[in-house]
């Protein structure tokens, strides 16, 4: 295998084509099929860094990993009960959302949101749903809903 890296434009063009194709096939239902996008790469890079059971620590570890890889500039968040509001600034994939938006396709997948949901599900065994993605000036505003821990059936 080569150590050569691909350009960001190439990667985003592929992401655009894949998301557009999936949207054409599933419409808004594509949102429920893309929740695992990005997880495999970060199982080995982020999850080992998460040592606490605090959601804020999860987000800070994900932010650090994504910043180190040049994927985002900043991630901030607030918690309000079961609602988790996340703001992602400077995401390299924003261009994909902008291109889809020009075609009237609302944002339906977000790698940082997927990773946050994955961390909560893995570490706390709590289901999470990405309820909303709003692409606004300079950032993406995400709304995630966390649910109670799954019951253990015996």
pLDDT, tens digit (0-9, with 9 covering 90-100), for 50-107:
889 999 999 999 999 999 999 999 999 999 999 999 999 999 999 999 999 999 999 9
Answer for the pair 97, 135: CB distance below 8 angstroms, yes or no.
Answer: yes
Report the CATH number that the domain containing residue 51 is assigned in CATH: 3.30.1380
Q: Residue 97's closest CA among 113, 116, 120, 84?
A: 113
Whether 119 is covered by a domain: the verdict is: yes
Question: What is the per-residue pLDDT across 18-27, written as a single tens digit (0 to 9) for each?
Answer: 999 989 999 9
**Could you list the residue range(s) of the whole structural domain that residue 135 is in?**
8-146
Within a domain: 151? no
Residue 98 lies in a domain: yes
Q: Please state, in angstroms and rounded to a whole number, the distance separating the CA atoms of residues 154 and 143.
A: 33
Task: Round to whole Å and give the CA distance between 96 and 20.
Answer: 10
pLDDT digits (tens, 9 = 90+) for 100-141: 999 999 998 999 999 999 999 989 999 999 999 999 888 999
| Total number of domains constituting the chain | 1
Residue 1 belongs to a domain: no
Look up the pTM and report it: 0.88
């Amino acid at each position: 295998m080569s150590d050569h890296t691909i350009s960001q434009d190439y990667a985003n063009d592929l992401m655009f084509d894949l998301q557009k194709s999936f949207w054409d096939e599933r419409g808004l239902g594509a949102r429920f099929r893309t929740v695992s996008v990005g997880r495999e790469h970060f199982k080995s890079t982020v999850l080992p860094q998460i040592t606490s059971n605090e959601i804020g620590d999860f987000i800070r570890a994900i932010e650090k990993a994504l910043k180190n890889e040049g994927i985002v500039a900043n991630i901030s968040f607030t918690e309000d009960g079961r609602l988790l509001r996340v703001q992602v600034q400077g995401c390299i994939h924003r261009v994909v959302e902008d291109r889809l938006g020009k075609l009237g396709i609302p944002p339906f997948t977000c790698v940082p949101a997927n990773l946050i949901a994955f961390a909560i599900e893995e570490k706390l065994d709590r289901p999470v749903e990405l309820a909303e993605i709003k692409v606004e000036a300079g950032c993406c505003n995400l709304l995630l809903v966390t649910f109670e821990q799954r019951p253990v059936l015996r």
